[in-house]
Amino acid sequence: MRSGEVKRRTNETDIAVSLTIDGTGKAEIATGVGFFDHMLDLFARHALIDLKVVVKGDTHIDDHHSVEDAGIALGEALKQALGDKKGIRRYADVHLPMDEALTRVAVDVSGRPFLVFRTAFEAQKIGTFDTELVREFFQAFAINAGLTLHVETLYGDNAHHIAESCFKGLARALRQALEVDPREGGRVPSTKGAL
């Protein structure tokens, strides 16, 4: 079972994350941030990852710490679940449309954390959610999971649609990249022999 479990507690947030890569998309999400719950729920569904995320954070200040720290814990849990990365496809990319918005996500499950994030929001808020937190999440997640992750929104107007295309794009790209490729025969997909 490719599973990971992380508990992370600071003065700002108290977080519990558990995930199973080869799941069915079952999600139990309670972050205290409504829009972020929606994003993690659809992430789990489209990645077919079973995901539980509970965050008790200082949302009386704003949502920043809760979203960023959830990204850190989720990244750590995924890294744990991946282990030695034997047999995985490693690379994947997807163009994810959400009505008028289109986002391209390319991922290398490389162990070499890097984020390129070319998504701009004209609106500062989606409801009460700060749109700049989308990038904060992707940054925290990519760095802690050890992913080389490129996200670019090619076009789009509605901030809710743009954010959703990013999270669904991440989900669909990861679903492919994390899949075990039978042709790899259980080998680490690198000429170096390790990722």
Q: Least distance to Mn ion from the beta carbon of 98, Å? A: 8
Rank residues 83 and 127 by Cβ distance to Mn ion and give the closer one: 127
Q: How far is the CB of 8 from Mn ion (least distance, A)?
A: 27
CB of 116 to Mn ion, least distance (A): 24
Q: What Å distances lie between residue 36 and 70, 96, 183, 184, CA to CA?
A: 10, 19, 37, 36
Query: Which one, 99 or 132, has the nearer CB to Mn ion?
Result: 99
Task: Mark the segment that binds Mn ion (CB under 5 A) among 43-51, 70-78, 164-172, 176-184.
Answer: 164-172
Encode 27-66: b = buried (16+ Cβ within 10 Å), e = exposed.
bebebbbebbbbbbbbbbbbbbbbbbbbbebbbeeebbbb
d(CA 62, CA 54): 17
From the CB of 163, what's the least distance to Mn ion, in Å?
Answer: 8
Backbone angles phi, psi at 11, to 5 degrees: -70, -15
Instruction: Tell me the residue number closest to Mn ion, measured at CB.
Output: 164
State the residues that interact with Mn ion by CB under 5 A: 164
